[in-house]
Chains A and B, each alone.
Chain A
């Protein structure tokens, strides 16, 4: 009697399911690996600042684990936030940054509109020139600029050096060219028919700018605003050169000139000051990022 054997194991060939998705899994693993690496790299300094800011001077100089707080204290924060000097720096920085952002936007948005849309003799060259001025480093410019303001003071008797508002003249030399450049790019990406439609609808150039271009290029405007604010807030060299009196200093310069006395570094307060100083840009980023939605022009034209 013959028995029929049935091979239940079936074909031994391995079936590959979804090789595409496995590829994707690996791509994701690698991206997470590098993202985590990058996060560690960029978040370690602020973490160290936070840890140090919670320590007393005694604990900072003690030979304990620098990554652990044994006796947490808020004394650094309390001292800084109750010191008129620190608050003065903070206000100076805030005023300078807010006014500079305003000046920058008032200049660079109309400038970019003119350069991107009103074709006039030399407009293309001018647009490139605007960007080239941005490439000149501030370390090259601060001496001639200082000289200019000094001579201006001698001639007119209007003393601008060592006044916080001198920075309102200087920072725009950094922010205006770059913001104009960003806005030229955004405005250039708006289809030509959109301003032609506006012109036929009866809009003036100014109305086309305010009622069509600015709303449509809002993401670009926000990017430019963030840039201008960050540059003004974090600028170090110019305020170091142009302001010396304690009541005229902005935050970055104020922290290092008042909290480092000779060779004594008040590390706890330096770290606290730096951390507090980093908060406003962070808040502004978080707030504006919600509005920073790309693809706002979707639907204007076909495709």
Chain B
């Protein structure tokens, strides 16, 4: 068993709390991604699991054993670093086998493991080269190979793709996913890139200010965010937030955005938000793909309105349109054939079946 558990884990640097009491259970074979902005404590959490940082409080368990005071080499983990951290004076094969050689594995065993890992990562031809003769993507493969040959309980990835160019990053992302499908080793992966998090993870852990904001599958985070932070962090372009209030008009619930603009809530939403009709300071959260061009036939819950576009961004398969509602910029995604032009009016529609209502003060999704 190689499950990883964190219990109320805290990391303090002098007076600053980088990680403020994290609870996290990672199942055997699971691929978990820690994601969040710079300084949210995700790398520190990973380094505490690795044993490179002491924990100030709490417990970390790997495979059921508390490893708080176990040195990194005895935790049976392997780590891939952002800047690869290959040993520059060793060949690819020596780099990959360094850990095994230190543990005095038999030569034949080392050779077969290195060969197998090299084959899996498609670096068999590079096995006798030094790191400086390799490209960025190749170095990253070697760093992964070094982790794979150890056959550890847990893989730890610390922003492994941040140093690669965009195209290579997509390619290596797929590569990492393939490797995980083959070896099925429990993996903890840190990134600040929400796309990486969404595409790789079985479950995503969104962190902010040293705390976990939400844990969930990529789809859960996208469709059912728990907080404003998660709602705005996951998804690109980000979710729109517009101040609003609820109005009870003759037993029917409306969401009013401006003096002139209000939409009737679909029945399911109306039932859910009924109790909030007296609450002040609400935010309507709506993803750009739910603000589209108005269609000729009416659909339940899809409410048309007119907007004057500030800016349009043609993306090819769609056009992003930006307009202003009560001082908030709103982004919508329309068909490239919708005739969207900078500065001109366009009839849009908002799909309220996919709306979110947030408390502006607490940031909670209601």
Contact in complex: B102, A207 (CB < 8 Å): yes
User: Using an 8 Å CB-CB cutoff, how does the interface string of A84-127 with B read, 1 for contact, 0 for none?
Assistant: 00000000000000000000000000000000000000000000
The stretch among A29-37, A175-183, A292-300 that forms the contact with chain B is A292-300
Question: Any chain B CB within 8 A of the CB of A191?
Answer: yes
Q: Count the A-B residue pairs with Cβ separation under 8 angstroms: how many?
A: 86
Most buried by A among B72, B88, B130, B163: B88
**CA A28 – CA B181 in complex, angstroms?**
60
Question: Any chain A CB within 8 A of the CB of B189?
Answer: no
Min distance, Cβ A50 to any Cβ of chain B, angstroms: 41
Question: Which residues of chain B from 75 to 92 have a CB within 8 Å of any chain A CB?
Answer: 77-79, 81-89
Contact in complex: B83, A302 (CB < 8 Å): yes
Contact in complex: A299, B131 (CB < 8 Å): yes
Question: Any chain A CB within 8 A of the CB of B11?
Answer: no
Min distance, Cβ A196 to any Cβ of chain B, angstroms: 5
**CA A218 – CA B87 in complex, angstroms?**
13
Contact in complex: A299, B78 (CB < 8 Å): no
Q: How many residues of chain B get a CB closer than 8 Å to chain A's CBs? A: 32
Given the interface pairs A193-B81, A216-B87, A216-B88, the reply to whether A299 lies near B133 with Cβ below 8 Å is yes
Question: Any chain B CB within 8 A of the CB of A153?
Answer: no
**CA A196 – CA B80 in complex, angstroms?**
10
Question: Any chain B CB within 8 A of the CB of A212?
Answer: yes
Contact in complex: A298, B132 (CB < 8 Å): yes
**CA A202 – CA B161 in complex, angstroms?**
24
Contact in complex: B85, A193 (CB < 8 Å): yes
Question: Any chain A CB within 8 A of the CB of B287?
Answer: no
**CA A199 – CA B103 in complex, angstroms?**
12
**CA A207 – CA B73 in complex, angstroms?**
13
Given the interface pairs A196-B79, A197-B79, the reply to whether A302 lies near B84 with Cβ below 8 Å is yes
Contact in complex: B81, A296 (CB < 8 Å): no
Contacts of A203 in B (CB 8 A): 73, 98, 102
Tell me which of B85, B103, B132, B133 contacts A197 (CB under 8 A). B85
Q: A203-B98, A216-B88 are in contact. List 14 more A-B contacts (CB 8 A).
A: A191-B85, A193-B85, A194-B87, A199-B52, A199-B72, A201-B98, A201-B102, A201-B150, A203-B102, A215-B89, A296-B89, A298-B132, A299-B86, A300-B87
Chain A residues engaging chain B, CB cutoff 8 angstroms: 191, 193-194, 196-203, 207, 211-212, 215-216, 218, 296-303
